[in-house]
Amino acid sequence: MASESVSVVFKIYCLAVMTLIAAAYTVALRYTRTVSSDLYFSTTAVCLTELIKLLLSLGMLLRETGDLGRFRSAVVSHIFKSPKELLKLSVPSVVYAIQNNMAFVALSNLDAAVYQVTYQLKIPCTALCTVLMLGRSLSRLQWFSVFMLCGGVTLVQWTPHVFGGFSYGALVTLCLGSGVYFEKVLKSSDTSLWVRNIQMYLSGIVVTLIGVFMTDGAQVLEKGFFYGYTPWVCLVIFLASVGGMYTSVVVKYTDNIMKGFSAAAAIVLSTVASVVLFGLQITAMFLGGALLVCVSIYLYGLPKQDTSRVQKPSTDGEDTQKLIAV
């Protein structure tokens, strides 16, 4: 399995940036779906996000290859002459397109707290998919921290009507294997991260365009593709695009569970932002949940101890025999 070593500082930087972007994205998206009178088409926003991510990935590939000749060769080799690779990456692209559209629908109809709590069903499920699909093992402490995190997030975001959004959470849970599948594809070969992104985003653009015309086709033709767009909507699309790029980097150089923990930390930040912007009341449950989230992240990051082989302390006689043998 191919791997690239990067510094701990770089990993922390990527996780921190992705956390901040995720928090800002959730707050901005909720704002655009609740305050605008001319509501934009969410399917067009998802499609534009995929297009921008494709353009950003092409730019990063050009930077990585160093010149137009190598860039053109990489695109021809891995895109036009590799239909099987495109088909392989179409699987997560379809699922991500569904998830992104569901997020817009959910934040249009559900309370933000309900959305956040049900979405955290992904964390233990992602851990399970990582064990099953990538053959990794988690320590008991790591499993404990995963479920502690879910409990903490539930306390942070708890409302009396939390169970109303479980149907959405169940649908999201069905899509969770895609992130682990993408991680497996990324780490199972030496193919450039940006090539993999280009392959996935090309399929994503096709899928989301189909979604635009199947869901909002008549209204888009009548009112226009960019109907209802405001600077806030453009900010949401920008955050989704940049966040998607950082997600790929995090998946490449860390793992999908750490991405889940970053998202959980973003929930706490989103809630704090809601206090400032929307007047959310801080409760004892919030403080207790925030503490559980922080502790669970710390516990998960502790190094695993290998207790499979324990050396017995040698006796003085055994030490003497070893010295004589030497």
Alpha-carbon 41 to chain mean position: 23
Which of these ranges, 131-135, 162-166, 170-174, 245-249, has the smallest mean pLDDT? 162-166
Query: What is the C-alpha to C-alpha distance for residues 150 and 148, in angstroms, rounded to an integer?
Result: 5
Supply the pLDDT for residue 52. Answer: 95
Query: What is the C-alpha to C-alpha distance for residues 173 and 159, in angstroms, rounded to an integer?
Result: 21
> Looking at per-residue confidence, does 151 or 41 come out higher?
41
Query: What is the C-alpha to C-alpha distance for residues 12 and 103, in angstroms, rounded to an integer?
Result: 26
Query: What is the C-alpha to C-alpha distance for residues 286 and 251, in angstroms, rounded to an integer?
Result: 29
Q: Is-contact 4 11, C-beta < 8 A?
A: no
Query: Kindly report the CA angle at 148 between 171 and 292, in degrees rounded to 5?
Result: 115
Q: How many CA atoms lie within 13 A of 202 on its CB side?
A: 18
pTM to 2 decimals? 0.72
Supply the pLDDT for residue 184. Answer: 66
Q: Using one digit for the tens of pLDDT, what is the confidence trace for 207-233?
A: 899 999 999 999 999 999 999 999 999
Q: Using one digit for the tens of pLDDT, what is the confidence trace for 229-277?
A: 999 999 999 999 988 787 777 766 766 566 667 767 777 787 777 777 7
Q: Quick one: DSSP state of residue 159? A: -
Looking at this protein, which amino acid is placed at residue 67?
D
Give the SS3 label for residue 89: helix
Query: Kindly report the CA angle at 27 between 256 and 47, in degrees rounded to 5?
Result: 65
Query: What is the C-alpha to C-alpha distance for residues 213 and 210, in angstroms, rounded to an integer?
Result: 5
